[in-house]
């Protein structure tokens, strides 16, 4: 039985496990396993056994309020490396939970519009129609954005504070490169560019445990994976005022179909139009149901 590399955390930890598990050098020496720290609705999680934990050579643990629950079973020589959840509120300051998301399916276990927008949610809650909501969004959404320079300073402080709790850090990379590289599909789903950097930093720490990691060819491994990465199924648009303020060089033009589900890409306007129509429909159906 090969020793295990265990990733523990949210879906980002699962994405890292996909990358490490695809590397032929790592795969020849280790069994790569992912254990979710949350209610993962996908098929990627496993139920950990005492045997797997007992053979773990490296635990890559994402900093999380729910710490790894089987730490006492780890072998004495297990290397534990902590890393942050990588996210960026800065690009989506209007993000909120969406109470008007559509029903999850096997293909969309979190629904199509899991990521909400405060303006749209507020309008739907006030009983406005989809057409009225879109009109308000198009004409006044920019007025609801925060002071972006102040928001950027707060975000930098948040990321730096979280890094202090981790062995491997990422705030420096994110803040230095988010303008010229598309690092996130959503507020908390990194692209392959961000996952590659985090993987590289984890590999550097893993060299303390095994010389195998000196031979890993990370870029060759990533080249064999889908370019959108393990978390690229859904992309949420960035507000154009955000793109202009921070001079995002990678920002697509208005007519580009790059948003929503990867297999059904939409333009910026199409995405918010469908999101709003879905929200109004969910609200109206719930209202009808409450009267029957």
| Domain boundaries, position 125 | 89-150+233-291
Judge if 131 and 198 occupy the same domain.
Answer: no
Place of tokens 């690229």: 232
Judge if 143 and 245 occupy the same domain.
Answer: yes
Judge if 254 and 278 occupy the same domain.
Answer: yes
Judge if 10 and 33 occupy the same domain.
Answer: yes
Pairing of strands 56-62, 4-9: parallel
Assess if residue 5 is contained within a domain. yes
Judge if 132 and 249 occupy the same domain.
Answer: yes
Assess if residue 204 is contained within a domain. yes
Last residue of a domain, one of 200, 225, 250: 225
Judge if 285 and 237 occupy the same domain.
Answer: yes
Last residue of a domain, one of 225, 246, 271: 225
- Over residues 175-196, the pLDDT tens digits come to 999 999 999 999 999 999 999 9
pLDDT at 290: 56
Judge if 145 and 241 occupy the same domain.
Answer: yes
Question: How crowded is the C-beta side of 251, counted as CA atoms within 13 Å?
Answer: 18
Q: What is the CATH number of the domain that holds 63?
A: 3.40.50.2300
Per the structure, how many domains does the chain have? 2
Assess if residue 178 is contained within a domain. no
pLDDT at 44: 54
pLDDT at 287: 73
- Over residues 56-108, the pLDDT tens digits come to 999 999 998 888 999 999 999 999 999 999 999 999 999 999 999 999 888 88
Distance, CA of 37 to CA of 255 (rounded, Å): 38
Assess if residue 128 is contained within a domain. yes
Judge if 1 and 77 occupy the same domain.
Answer: yes
Judge if 128 and 13 occupy the same domain.
Answer: no
Judge if 143 and 280 occupy the same domain.
Answer: yes
Please choose, from the candidates 87, 67, 71, 63, the residue with its C-alpha nearest in 3D space to the C-alpha of residue 164. 63
pLDDT category of residue 289 using cuts at 50, 70 and 90: low
Assess if residue 165 is contained within a domain. no
Percent pLDDT > 70 in the chain is 96
Assess if residue 187 is contained within a domain. no
Assess if residue 183 is contained within a domain. no
Helix (H) or strand (E) holding 195: helix 192-206
- Over residues 38-52, the pLDDT tens digits come to 776 665 556 788 999
Distance, CA of 274 to CA of 272 (rounded, Å): 6
- Over residues 98-143, the pLDDT tens digits come to 999 999 888 888 899 999 999 999 999 999 999 999 999 999 999 9
Assess if residue 156 is contained within a domain. no
Last residue of a domain, one of 182, 209, 225: 225
Structure tokens at 172: 């420096």
Judge if 219 and 251 occupy the same domain.
Answer: no
pLDDT at 109: 84
- Residue 54, pLDDT above cutoff 70: yes
Mean pLDDT of the chain: 94
Please choose, from the candidates 85, 76, 225, the residue with its C-alpha nearest in 3D space to the C-alpha of residue 161. 85
- Residue 292, pLDDT above cutoff 90: no
Q: 193 and 182 in contact (C-beta within 8 Å)?
A: yes
Judge if 254 and 129 occupy the same domain.
Answer: yes
Backbone Cα Rg of the chain: 21
């Amino acid at each position: 039985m090969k020793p295990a590399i265990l990733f523990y955390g949210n879906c980002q930890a699962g994405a890292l496990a996909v990358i490490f598990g695809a590397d032929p050098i790592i795969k020849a020496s280790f069994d790569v396993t992912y254990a979710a720290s949350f209610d993962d609705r996908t098929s990627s999680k496993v139920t950990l056994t005492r045997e797997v934990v007992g053979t773990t050579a490296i635990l890559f643990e994402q900093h999380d309020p729910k710490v790894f629950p089987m730490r006492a079973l780890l072998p004495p020589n297990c290397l534990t490396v902590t890393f942050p959840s990588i996210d960026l509120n800065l690009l989506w300051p209007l993000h909120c939970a969406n109470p008007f998301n559509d029903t999850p399916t096997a293909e969309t276990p979190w629904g199509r519009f899991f990521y909400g927008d405060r303006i749209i949610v507020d309008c739907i809650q006030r009983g406005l129609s989809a057409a009225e909501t879109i009109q308000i969004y198009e004409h006044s959404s920019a007025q609801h954005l925060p002071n972006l320079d102040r928001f950027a300073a707060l975000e930098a402080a948040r990321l730096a504070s979280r890094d202090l709790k981790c062995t491997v850090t990422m705030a420096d990379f994110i803040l230095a490169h988010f303008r010229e590289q598309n690092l996130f599909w959503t507020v908390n789903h990194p692209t392959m560019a961000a996952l590659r950097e985090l993987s590289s930093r984890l590999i550097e720490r893993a060299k303390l445990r095994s010389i195998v990691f000196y031979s890993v060819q990370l870029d060759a491994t990533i080249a064999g994976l889908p370019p959108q990465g393990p978390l690229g199924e859904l992309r949420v648009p960035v507000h154009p005022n955000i793109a202009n303020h921070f001079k995002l060089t990678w920002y697509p033009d208005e007519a580009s179909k790059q948003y929503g589900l990867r297999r059904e890409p939409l333009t910026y306007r199409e995405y918010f139009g469908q999101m709003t129509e879905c929200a109004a429909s969910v609200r109206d159906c719930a209202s009808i149901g409450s009267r029957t």
